[in-house]
Amino acid sequence: MIMLYLHMLLIYIQKSISIAGILIILFGVLVALYRFLKIDLTEKNDKKLSDDTNAIRLSLARILLLGLEFIIAADLISTTTAPDYYTVGIVACIVAIRTVLSYTLNKELAKTEHAQK
């Protein structure tokens, strides 16, 4: 009986962390869209527009990485509640894909930040 409650608790924790990651990404995209539209509609200088757009891209990339980390953590928690090896394999593939995506985004972010300095 306790194992059932522990299993349900882990599922709620996993879903909560996953939703938090999704909300972080959604919030970041909305903020980036607002900032871009605000700058695009008000800025007339192309050089300043380009610099501001790159700054928006960098901040959006950071937020996407944070959201992906939350989602990866939720996937890792879900492996503890997986009933069979097939599900564990699928979750492992998803985590691997998201980790590679996170790694490449991180490299792109570091390269862009270095280029701006």
Q: Give a three-class secondary structure readout of 45-57.
A: CHHHHHHHHHHHH
What is the model's pLDDT at position 117? 66
Given a contact cutoff of 8 angstroms between Cβ atoms, the answer to whether 94 and 75 are in contact is yes
Would you say 76 and 95 are in contact if contact means Cβ atoms under 8 Å apart? yes
**pTM confidence score:** 0.79
Amino acid 6: pLDDT:
87
How far apart CA 83 and CA 68 sit, in angstroms, is: 24
Residues in the chain with pLDDT values less than 50: none
* Per-residue pLDDT at 107: 86
HSE, CB side, 13 Å, CA atoms: give it for residue 73. 14
Amino acid 32: pLDDT:
95
Q: CA 19 to CA 45: how far, in whole Å? A: 39
What pLDDT does 66 receive? 92
d(CA 47, CA 101): 30
